Structure 1
Amino acid sequence: MAGNAGDQGSSGDQPKERDRRITDVGTLKALAHPLRARLMRALTLARAATASQLAEQVDEAVSLVSYHLRKLAEHGLIEEAEPRSADGRERWWQPASDGLSIHDEDFRDAPEKAAAHAAASRLFFDQRSGMYRRYLDERAHWSPEWTTAAESSESVLRLTAAELAELTVELRALARRYQELGRAADAAGDTEGRENVALHTDAFPFRT
């Protein structure tokens, strides 16, 4: 999982860590929970939200969502945000960083760490696959403009490990450029015609 989930109490106007690199098993396990991963994604899209708002999105009880939000906050993955309304009875939450990244080299030095990383990677992949299956189920309801623009393809390449690493860096930089373009447009109020777009890439070696 990369790119694309501090201390409590910082406001949404303060600069955030660009991509927090998760390096400890405790934080990885805190994130690699089906509901918490969904809450992180929902909160990333909303920028800031209350437990009630998130509970409605994930169709779970507010008390359960509040519990899991506190767990995410305990590991510094989310933090309290400045209230967006006059009602001060509920906490507002926001991601503590501008993105999250998880790297194999941080978890390969012990079997239990490698197992936790593998389990987390499977969960994230399953959730991404679920998002794409939902798009396929709903594709008929999207306009031709969007279905034509959408992409799903596979390229089989012959690369060295160094070349694959270079390709990965270039893909992340390209995705970041378009992410910043969309955020700048949102900040300027230019939201017409814009939708949330999920860009999933999986690049890995295999042998026939």
Structure 2
Amino acid sequence: MTSQENRRITDLGTLKAIAHPLRMRLYRNLFVARTATASQLAEQVDEAVSLVSYHLRKLAEHGLIEEAGTQSADGRERWWQPSSYGVSIHDEDVRDSPELAAASDAVGRTIDEQRSELHRRFLDERLTWPDAWRSASISSEWLPRLTAAELAALGAELEAVLRKYDQAARAAEAAGDTEGRENVAVHLHGFPYRP
């Protein structure tokens, strides 16, 4: 990973590239794996290697992923990695363009659908997880009355907490501490609504 910061997406081409459901799945799986080949990712998403390779190249064209150093002995397989810690889309970058706003909405819907599917899968498989993991899982909803500034501050604080835990886990894994670690999805939404 080249950058420890989120990649801020502001252009239509990149928004359209990441809005594609298969590309989003590949990006997410690559982020979790940290490095992978098209063959490894194709197995995870149950698609043909040629199709996965095509979509990986599209993600690379938009700077969302990049080639990683060769990790196999023969050096024939191409390894990929995310080019940044993650991606972000800011309303102020898309609000004045109907095309950008529509593409941003498409990204949001793709992400929401995949997050919901991931959570449904956990609920379906919940009883297969050990007691400690079932007890540790989180599902809550809060309905505070906030100002826009308070919601923005809350989001920044939550992101800082999650980044702290993620960076500590990455450092522990790099030091060889992998015992008992699992991939964990934390989905947070904060938005205004009217009953």
| TM-score, normalised by the number of residues in structure 1 | 0.91
Q: 2:112 aligns with which of 125, 132, 144?
A: 125
Structure-2 separation of matches of 1:119 and 1:16:
25
C-alpha distance after superposition, 1:152-190 (max 9, x if no partner): 111000111111111011000000000011101100100
Gaps of 5+ in 1: 1-11
- Root-mean-square deviation (CA), in Å? 1.0
SS in 2 for 1:100: strand
Tell me what 2:25 maps to: 38
Structure 1 residue 47 corresponds to structure 2 residue 43: no
Identity, in percent, stands at 67
Match of 2:7 in 1: 20
CA distance in structure 2 between the partners assigned to 1:113 and 1:22 by the alignment: 10
Decide which of 146, 149, 153 is 1:159's aligned counterpart: 146
Q: Of 89, 112, 115, which residue of structure 1 is paired with 2:102? A: 115
Q: Which residue of 2 aligns with 1:66?
A: 53
Offset at 1:87?
2.0
How far is the alpha carbon of 1:98 from its aligned partner?
1.6
State the shift of 1:17 in Å.
4.3
User: Partner of 2:186 in structure 1?
Assistant: 199
1:91 aligns with 2:82: no
Tell me how far apart the structure 1 counterparts of residues 35 and 64 of structure 2 sit (CA, whole Å): 13
Higher helix share: 2
Corresponding letter in the other structure for 1:182: A
Matches of 2:74 and 2:11, distance apart in 1: 37
Instruction: Structure 2: give runs of 5+ residues left out of the alignment.
Output: none
Cα displacement (A) at 1:103: 1.3
Which amino acid counterpart does residue 43 of structure 1 have in structure 2?
Answer: L
Letter of the 1:63 partner, please give it. Answer: S
Equivalent of 2:168, from 144, 165, 181? 181
- Paired residues in the alignment total 195
Change (3 A) 1:17 1:194: closer
Range with bigger deviation, 83-92 or 175-184: 83-92
